[in-house]
Amino acid sequence: MQHWLAKELLDINAVTLSPDEPYTWSSGLKSPIYCDNRLTLSYPTLRQSIAEGMVAMIHKHYPEAEVIVGTATAGIAHAALVADKMGLPMAYVRSKSKSHGKENQIEGKVDAGAKAVIIEDLISTGGSVINVQEALLEQKVTVLGTAAIFTYGLEKGKQKLAAASLSYHTLTDYDNLLETARDNEYLTQQDVTRLRKWQSNPESTDWLASTVK
């Protein structure tokens, strides 16, 4: 599943790689990779495979799940697909409470004490899923962990998630993506070396050098 999904993400440009002309993230970080897993929703067979993969992952790691909770906005559709396949309630959590109406942050019915799994499309620094976890914990919901499509595997994210005691599992990851990209000639071995250097220290621009020694 990991290598197959990595190739699917590359083929539909849900993940794009640009080591010579890096992307600029909203944080200002220069990155050789950009991930937009919303594109997977436009491919029926792929989105069903992702949903089935997540269901299997939840059955394995969080078998006591009682409610599926998506992150807003990228995790909402995937959470709905997973919840439907599992026959479970579904909700989603906004990044912050609305400023009007009932001023909800949690949309949908999630009872105190319910055992929830968070669905996310992408894990980078872990901020989005931790925000969801905090909102659920405030309502006395038990958070079992997170299921996501992809992770960059950044050390900062790992540390933040560990500090929040939030476990996570993903269908594929950065290491599998780089191997798949090299094997299918999306990247050269030199590019792979550069992208691994970026992953180890994304705040640095040393990886931008054309030759890594």
State if pTM tops 0.75.
Answer: yes
Q: pLDDT (tens digit, 9 = 90+) per residue, 159-176?
A: 999 999 999 999 999 999
Q: Which pLDDT value is given to residue 1?
A: 83
User: Contact at 8 Å (CB) between 108 and 89?
Assistant: yes
Give me the percent of the chain exceeding a pLDDT of 70.
Answer: 94
Q: Which pLDDT value is given to residue 104?
A: 73
User: Contact at 8 Å (CB) between 93 and 141?
Assistant: no
Q: How confident is the model at residue 99 (pLDDT cuts 50, 70, 90)?
A: very low
pLDDT (mean) for 45-58: 97
User: Contact at 8 Å (CB) between 121 and 74?
Assistant: yes
Least confident of 31-35, 91-95, 101-105, 198-202: 101-105
Q: How confident is the model at residue 103 (pLDDT cuts 50, 70, 90)?
A: low
State whether residue 169 is helix, strand or coil: strand
DSSP secondary-structure letter at 88? -
pLDDT (mean) for 48-68: 98
Q: Which pLDDT value is given to residue 80?
A: 97
